[in-house]
Amino acid sequence: MESDTEQFESRKREHLQLALEPAHQAFGLTGLERIRLVHEALPDLNFHELRLDSPCLGRIERTPFYVAGMTAGHADAPRLNRTLAIACAERGWAMGVGSQRRELEGGGGKDLDHWRRLREEVPGLFLIANIGISQLVDAPLERIQALTEEMGAQALAIHLNALQEVLQPEGTPRFKGAIQALRRACAELAVPVVIKETGCGFSGETLRRFHGLRLGAIDVSGLGGTHWGRIEGARARPDSVHAAAAMTFGRWGESTAESVERAREMLPSAEIWASGGVRSGLDAAKLIALGAHRVGYAQPALAAALEGLEALKRWMEVQEYELRVALFCTGSATPAELRSSQKAIRVEA
Ligand SMILES: Cc1cc2nc3c(=O)[nH]c(=O)nc-3n(C[C@H](O)[C@H](O)[C@H](O)COP(=O)(O)O)c2cc1C
């Protein structure tokens, strides 16, 4: 019989391995396939003068990029997180961490030591703590506040994963009272709150419910990349109802492009973060043109980090360079200029 800790660690390891399989990516569904940026043949710019500086929860960071939160809590996690943290600090990317449910529930002493050591090693890193919405409903706010302080996080991401929780045999699909808990967290926590999906995006109806909340940012994390319905389907017993339902829901979600456009329209003063199927610097540029302030990658950053620090830094450099190329060829001196231009146009698929 596996203990709770063993079961938790093996689930996290399985998630990581399954996320790398192409079958669990919702390819072709970000909505970016139908967006193109208008070419400017005569930009009034010098390429080397372009700047990527972008807003990040009340600060200005060197790039608009972040690594979206990914699972900790298994034996390989400290090494991977260290690789991600060093590269992010060096290149001016923010870094989200994976769900800290275990730490919140008091079983993650080892994890906390790990974050403390990492903080000492990379003090300049913009670090984002992470919990799920059901933990927000259940745990006292003081405990959540302490968690962010103990690891020196600049922000707290609260993730929404309704599809995953409901398809996961051991999931906790308890979301009742979540919006009230979110309102309280936004009002009372000392760090800004980033509300994030995990690959299924936001409908207009959901975004409307964020009206009036003091959110730091909204990370749409839409459909088109890592799909947790597919991953939980692969984990479920093949003859189970969970596995059958996961097949049915394999394309479920709101696309990343549409989620960003809706967020810009419905919450015009919100800071919008875009993740979910971002696979190049050109994807990032399209999302910025559609309204995103920051753009995040999960699965591709994980794949690069598994190859080592140098491979990860090179991959990051490619994303930055591609974004710069898109800025230059649209005649935009900064991501903010691209965002306020009308350079994104919709084409037939
Ligand atoms: C291995 C892995 C683990 C993840 N764990 C978490 C998590 O613990 N908390 C969270 O908010 N999101 C988690 N995510 C979701 C990502 O932050 C992101 O929302 C999603 O993967 C879409 O981005 P992508 O298509 O670039 O992978 C995880 C993603 C991956 C690939």
Q: What is the CATH number of the domain that holds 225?
A: 3.20.20.70
Of ligand 1's listed atoms, the one at least distance from the Cα of 301 is: 26
- How far is residue 141's CA from residue 146's CA, in Å, rounded to a whole number? 9
List Cβ neighbours of 212 (8 Å cut-off, separation of 6 or more): none
What is the distance in angstroms between the CA of the first residue and the CA of the last residue of the chain?
A: 51
Higher pLDDT, 341 or 76: 341
- Best substitution site from 17, 71, 228, 306 to test ligand 1's pocket, by max atoms within 8 Å of Cβ? 71
Q: Is any atom of ligand 1 closer than 6 Å to the C-beta of 299? A: yes
β partners of residue 194: 157, 217
User: Does 86 have pLDDT greater than 60?
Assistant: yes
- How far is residue 239's CA from residue 243's CA, in Å, rounded to a whole number? 7
Q: How far is CA 222 from the centre of its chain?
A: 9
Residue nearest to atom 15 of ligand 1 (CA): 198
CA distances from 215 to 59, 231, 300, 323 (A): 15, 29, 27, 27
Q: Is any atom of ligand 1 closer than 6 Å to the C-beta of 294? A: no
User: Does 107 have pLDDT greater than 80?
Assistant: no
**CA of residue 63 to ligand 1 center, whole Å:** 20
- Which sign, positive or negative, has the C-alpha torsion 326, 328, 333, 337? negative
Quick: pLDDT tens for 261-270: 999 999 999 9
**Burial class (CB within 10 angstroms; exposed 0-12, middle 13-18, buried 19+) of 59:** exposed
Maximum CA extent, the chain: 67
List Cβ neighbours of 158 (8 Å cut-off, separation of 6 or more): 130, 131, 132, 133, 136, 182, 185, 193, 194, 195, 196
Our count of domains for the chain comes to 1
Q: Is any atom of ligand 1 closer than 6 Å to the C-beta of 332? A: no
Radius of gyration, alpha carbons of the chain:
19
List Cβ neighbours of 183 (8 Å cut-off, separation of 6 or more): 213
Residue nearest to atom 14 of ligand 1 (CA): 70
Element (H, E) at 129: strand 127-132
List Cβ neighbours of 98 (8 Å cut-off, separation of 6 or more): 12, 69, 70, 71, 72, 73, 77, 130
Q: Is any atom of ligand 1 closer than 6 Å to the C-beta of 134? A: no
User: Does 2 have pLDDT greater than 60?
Assistant: no
Q: pTM above the 0.95 mark? A: yes
Q: Which residue has the tokens 């302030």?
A: 293
Quote the pLDDT of residue 102: 86
The candidate with the shortest Cα–Cα distance to 155, out of 115, 131, 187, 128, is 128
Q: Is any atom of ligand 1 closer than 6 Å to the C-beta of 68? A: yes
Q: Is any atom of ligand 1 closer than 6 Å to the C-beta of 297? A: yes
**CA of residue 128 to ligand 1 center, whole Å:** 13
The candidate with the shortest Cα–Cα distance to 128, out of 271, 290, 277, 306, is 271
Across 2-16, 65-79, 85-99, 204-218, least confident range: 2-16
Quote the pLDDT of residue 154: 97
Quick: pLDDT tens for 275-291: 999 999 999 999 999 99
Q: Is any atom of ligand 1 closer than 6 Å to the C-beta of 196? A: yes
DSSP SS3 for 61: strand
**CA of residue 228 to ligand 1 center, whole Å:** 9
**CA of residue 232 to ligand 1 center, whole Å:** 13
User: Does 71 have pLDDT greater than 80?
Assistant: no
Of ligand 1's listed atoms, the one at least distance from the Cα of 197 is: 19
- How far is residue 84's CA from residue 95's CA, in Å, rounded to a whole number? 8
Quote the pLDDT of residue 109: 67
Token digits of residue 41: 């043949």
Average pLDDT, whole number, for the chain?
94
H-state helical runs in 209-291: 228-235, 241-248, 256-266, 281-290
Average pLDDT, integer, range 104-123: 84
User: Does 73 have pLDDT greater than 80?
Assistant: no
User: Does 3 have pLDDT greater than 80?
Assistant: no
Q: Is any atom of ligand 1 closer than 6 Å to the C-beta of 97? A: no
Average pLDDT, integer, range 212-224: 98
Across 59-68, 103-112, 205-214, 302-311, least confident range: 103-112
66 phi/psi in degrees, rounded to 5:
-150, 155
Average pLDDT, integer, range 35-45: 98
Of ligand 1's listed atoms, the one at least distance from the Cα of 219 is: 19
β partners of residue 65: 295
Q: Which domain holds residue 142?
A: 4-346
- How far is residue 2's CA from residue 96's CA, in Å, rounded to a whole number? 29
Burial 166-186 (b: 16+ CB within 10 A, else e): bbbeebeeebeebeebbbebb
Q: Please, how many CA atoms are within 13 Å of residue 348, restricted to the half-sphere of its CB?
A: 0
- Best substitution site from 221, 227, 315 to test ligand 1's pocket, by max atoms within 8 Å of Cβ? 221
The candidate with the shortest Cα–Cα distance to 200, out of 174, 172, 226, is 226
